[in-house]
Copies of this chain bind each other. A is one copy, B any other.
């Protein structure tokens, strides 16, 4: 998975949430894997709110869950500290192996594709579920691969064909295990929300590590 550019995809819901949050005006998202780390970072950083889930459900005492819908209004702070499991680990792995790491979702499909202009090679990295392929991520990766064009590798070809096999993004995102988990948690509205395409003009990127957290921002590198 080493490549000049890596696009991390966890479409239900971490990367959709990051895109939504930065598009709404948050200055940055600090993504970390552990709940205790998230609390400590939020306390240390000031002007930060806490978001995150375990088994799709909002963590007790946190300001927000991991639903992009919660971040569509006015920012509640400058920084969102977000704790997810699959997405964060993948972000860190990507940061170690790619020169640039971008955050992809359907919400920012056009923007993240445009941000890859001129890149010789782009790897699309799917978070999946506990190390297994998630249908929603594979679909989203296929959509991004199709938008990028070029000479796709076998995995991208497979993703493109998979994406073409669905009549709509909402149907694709609704077909997998992630959707089942969301429905079980009463969060099925997130599926339709995250299935909307290119409604956010942001291409979040990994900027640096802040302790154990990956800092995600928009805009050109400093």
Question: Which of B134, B154, B164, B176 is within 8 Å of A176, CB to CB?
Answer: B154
Contact of A135 with B164 in the complex, beta carbons under 8 Å: no
The answer to the question of A82 belonging to the interface, with a C-beta cut-off of 8 Å to chain B, is no
**In angstroms, how far is the closest chain B Cβ from the Cβ of A140?**
12
A133 part of interface (Cβ distance < 8 Å): yes
Asked if A86 is at the interface (CB within 8 A of a chain B CB), the reply is no
A interface list, Cβ under 8 A from B: 129, 132-135, 138, 153-155, 157-158, 161-162, 164-166, 175-177
> Which residues on B sit within 8 Å (CB–CB) of A162?
158, 161-162, 165
Please state the number of chain copies in the assembly: 2
**With a CB–CB cut-off of 8 A, which chain B residues contact A154?**
129, 132-135, 138, 176-177
Nearest residue, chain B, Cβ from A139: B158
| Nearest B residue (CB) for A136 | B154
Question: CB distance A153 to B177 under 8 Å?
Answer: yes
Of A154, A162, A164, A175, the most chain B CB neighbours within 10 A belong to A154
A133 vs B164: C-alpha distance when bound (angstroms): 18
With CB as the reference atom, state the residue of chain B lying closest to A176.
B154
CA distance A165 to B176 in the complex (A): 18
| Cα-based distance from A165 to B135 in the complex (angstroms) | 16
Q: Per a CB cutoff under 8 Å, which of B129, B133, B134, B157 touches A135?
A: B157
A162 to B158 alpha-carbon distance, docked (Å): 7
The answer to whether A153 and B165 have CB atoms under 8 Å apart is no
What residue in chain B is nearest A166 (Cβ atoms)? Answer: B161
Q: Closest residue of chain B to A135, judged by CB?
A: B154
A-B residue pairs in contact (CB < 8 Å), sample of 7: A129-B154, A134-B154, A153-B177, A154-B176, A157-B175, A157-B176, A161-B165
| A158: chain B residues within 8 A (beta carbon) | 133, 135, 138, 158, 162
In the bound complex, CA of A110 to CA of B221 (Å)? 55
Chain B, Cβ-Cβ closest to A134: B154
For residue A176, which residues in chain B have a CB less than 8 angstroms away from its CB?
Answer: 154, 157
